[in-house]
Amino acid sequence: MSLGYAEKLSFIEDVGQVGMAEFFDPSHVLQCKIEELAKMIQKSKHLVAFTGAGISTSCGIPDFRGPKGIWTLQREGKDLPKASLPFHRAMPSMTHMALVELERAGILKFVISQNVDGLHLRSGIPREKLSELHGDSFMEMCPSCGAEYLRDFEVETIGLKETSRKCSNEKCGAKLKDTVLDWEDALPPKEIDPAEKHCKMADLVLCLGTSLQITPACNLPLKCLRGGGKIVIVNLQKTPKDKKANVVIHGFVDKVVAGVMEALNMKIPPYVRIDLFQIILTQSLSRDQRYINWTLRVASVHGMTSQLPFVDSVEISFSDNQKYKETVLDKQPFLVKRRTSRTETFDIFLTVNYSGGCDCLSTKLNIPFEFEVSTEEHGEIIDKEAVLRSLRERAVEESSCGQSGVVERRVVCEPRSEAVVYATVTNLRTFICQQSLFANGDLKWKLEGSGTSRKRSRTGKRKSRA
């Protein structure tokens, strides 16, 4: 998962302390600390979460400095961990979704992330309440107008380099750049400034799954102390900031957060992933105007040259199988070209098959084919947010995925082209937390899901710190 990011980073010999020992609080101590943290959150007026790689390990994304971390295994000369699913299919963890619920309830005011996996945004944390200090592997930005583009594929570069795409703003059109920092890159003011502001305002900073070694990022939580704020650290390893914390909890972040949510009598919302693709049907008359040459394409909503990482193949068949043979498109771009007589009408049947990491196997669509002469360009007015909200609600109510709907439809007259954007629920993940006591007093948790020592200067270079 984060292997690609680690490989793209510039080489640096000293990545700091790795292979740090993990510690686990005894069950009765852990429970007491969970209850204490819940009370602190309940009393908090300005809660800020500061997150690291430890909140994403349960998503299948390896950390860097743990016993089985990427840099730990590299230093030991061992094979790197294998990703359990493609990076772009990683789903938010229980902790990610608990933070979403706390934000919706008005308790959590801001999230500061050192991760580049984009899971906070996918989970539903509003962009204006999130600082991604080190960037986002799935985000491109326009250096000219500042527009941001969240992708369903991992951006190919890091280090704030130009990508192969341009800003879609007609008045701009500048080349886009990735947002992930390399060792030599400084923290962007757009991210660190609001992070500093909220840490200074915070009466409680909750540090989750971070070794608190990357500077200056690791010093952000300390800024709450001057105003009388408190710090709580939840991490398996000891950190350099433990002495500054009011409470240090050694335990799995998901278990701790699940216990806190239970103590607060708050439910952890499910995660529903919706992916978009478009079907473009282009038609043109032959020179003698007797035939229609047409092309059907299943494409990314991010542009014709972008890949569809979650689509494996497309099966196409027709209502009149005697004239048109069915076909299977198993390589991108997914397109088929045909010629028909001008007066023919028929139905095109599509089965869009999804790739690994999707709970939904496929989506079946029926596209009526009838040539129309039109001199006007138009689009159907569709309430996209209402459609997406309905899909999410249905997925949760039915405890399944696969629901789909149209969120955009537009027509261009010359050459005649109709593009329809479909939204499909490809993943559903629910969380059940059950806490019970064994006879020996150990805590049992049921967590179900459907489905660094780097020194980074704000204005200078990033360096490792032992």
Give the per-residue pLDDT at 305: 84
Res 374: pLDDT: 56
The domain over range 272-372+382-429 is classified in CATH as 2.60.40.1970: yes
Q: Is 172 a known ligand-binding residue?
A: yes
Residues marked active site are found at: 134
**Between 3 and 159, residue with greater pLDDT:** 159
> Nearest to residue 131, comparing CAs of 67, 51, 218?
51
Higher per-residue confidence, 84 vs 429: 429
| Pairwise CA distance, residues 268 & 459, whole Å | 39
Q: In this predicted structure, what is the pLDDT of residue 461?
A: 41
Coil, strand or helix at 149: strand
Residue 10 has pLDDT above 60, yes or no: no
Q: What is the pLDDT of residue 184?
A: 79
pLDDT band at residue 192, thresholds of 50, 70 and 90? very high
Where residue 183 falls among pLDDT bands split at 50, 70, 90? confident
pTM of the full structure: 0.88
Determine which of 27-41, 150-164, 319-333 has the lowest per-residue pLDDT on average: 319-333
Mean of all residue pLDDT scores within the chain: 87
Topology of 27-137+180-269 in CATH?
Rossmann fold (3.40.50)
Mean pLDDT of 246-275: 97
Q: What is the pLDDT of residues 361-374, one digit of tens each?
A: 999 999 999 877 55
At residue 55, the pLDDT reads 96
Per-residue confidence (pLDDT) for residue 450, from 0 to 100: 46
Residues in a beta bridge with 284: 293
Which of 182-186, 309-313, 345-349, 350-354 shows the lowest per-residue confidence on average (mean pLDDT)? 182-186
Average pLDDT over residues 7-36: 78
Domains 27-137+180-269 and 272-372+382-429 share a fold: no
Question: Is 358 annotated in some ligand binding site?
Answer: no
Mind giving me the DSSP string for 277-292? EEEEEEEEE-TTSSEE
| Cα 403 from Cα 456, distance rounded (Å) | 44
Given a cut of 60, whether residue 76 has pLDDT beyond it is no
User: What pLDDT does 462 receive?
Assistant: 45
Alpha carbon distance 210, 220 (integer Å): 13
Residue spans of the domains in the chain: they are 27-137+180-269, 272-372+382-429
Does residue 18 register a pLDDT over 70?
Answer: no
